Amino acid sequence: EGGEGGGSVGVLLPVVREGERYAFCMCNPPFFESMEEAELNPGTNFGGTPEEMCCEGGEEAFVKQIYSDSLVLRDRVYWYTTMCGKKDTMKKLRRLLELRRVPAVRTT
């Protein structure tokens, strides 16, 4: 299922080394697909480089890629948490997790 979020090499796979284990992965994803999108809502544009704020497909694709990575890293990272800047993204991700029968999902 790799690449489900839009990337082919993953977000976590390139940095988690063989034999490493983590209690959790905490993510503040790039919220926007482009700097032009970021500039449309200056109230949520807190600043940062394009690499920090943008990725192809925006936050939804980035977090979906973390989900895909988690399928590979299943026994090496215990808990995943991420911030979502858009309610629509959160709804789509919750639906994905429900469809995949992820046993523990918490939102605030």
Nearest to 25 by CA among 68, 61, 76: 76
Q: Is 0.85 topped by the overall pTM?
A: no
DSSP-based three-state secondary structure for 35: helix
- What confidence score (pLDDT) does residue 39 get? 84
Looking at every residue in the chain, the average pLDDT score rounds to 87
Q: Is 70 exceeded by the pLDDT of residue 8?
A: no
Q: Please indicate whether residue 43 or residue 94 has the higher confidence score (pLDDT).
A: 94
DSSP summary character for residue 85? S
Rounded-to-integer distance, Cα 84 and Cα 103, Å: 20
pLDDT for 26-63, tens place per residue? 999 998 999 888 888 777 656 788 888 899 999 999 99
- Pinpoint the alpha helices (H) of 1-108: 35-40, 50-53, 58-72, 87-99
